[in-house]
Amino acid sequence: MKPITVALLAAALSGCISAKTSPPIDVALVPNDCRNREAIVNWLDEQANLPRQTLESDADYQRHRRAIRAKIWDLRYQCQPVNNDQLRVYK
């Protein structure tokens, strides 16, 4: 009876100790959907502002944030082209 109790206790503790971390986002899979640009940018911005997870290294955290910020920039670049009215020519 004692080995079973020890095994159950070990299994329960190992389940409680493991931290819940969200998987890294593969932002390359996020589409450049200009009709839903605002919603996608808002969601990506929320993901970029999440705090670092307990078991996530600082290097991984910074790499994920850079990938998210690059995707936001790419989406804005693709979906908000500059037109001639927005350009100012200084003489």
pTM for this predicted structure: 0.61
Evaluate whether 35 touches 8 at the Cβ level (below 8 Å). Answer: no
Confidence class for position 82, pLDDT limits 50, 70, 90:
low
* Domain range annotation of the chain: 22-82
| Burial of 53 from C-beta contacts in 10 A (0-12 / 13-18 / 19+) | middle
What is the enclosing helix (H) or strand (E) of 45? Answer: helix 37-48
pLDDT digits (tens, 9 = 90+) for 27-46: 878 888 899 999 999 999 99
List the Cα angle 19/22/28 in 5-degree steps: 155
Question: Which DSSP category does 27 fall into?
Answer: G
Evaluate whether 38 touches 73 at the Cβ level (below 8 Å): no
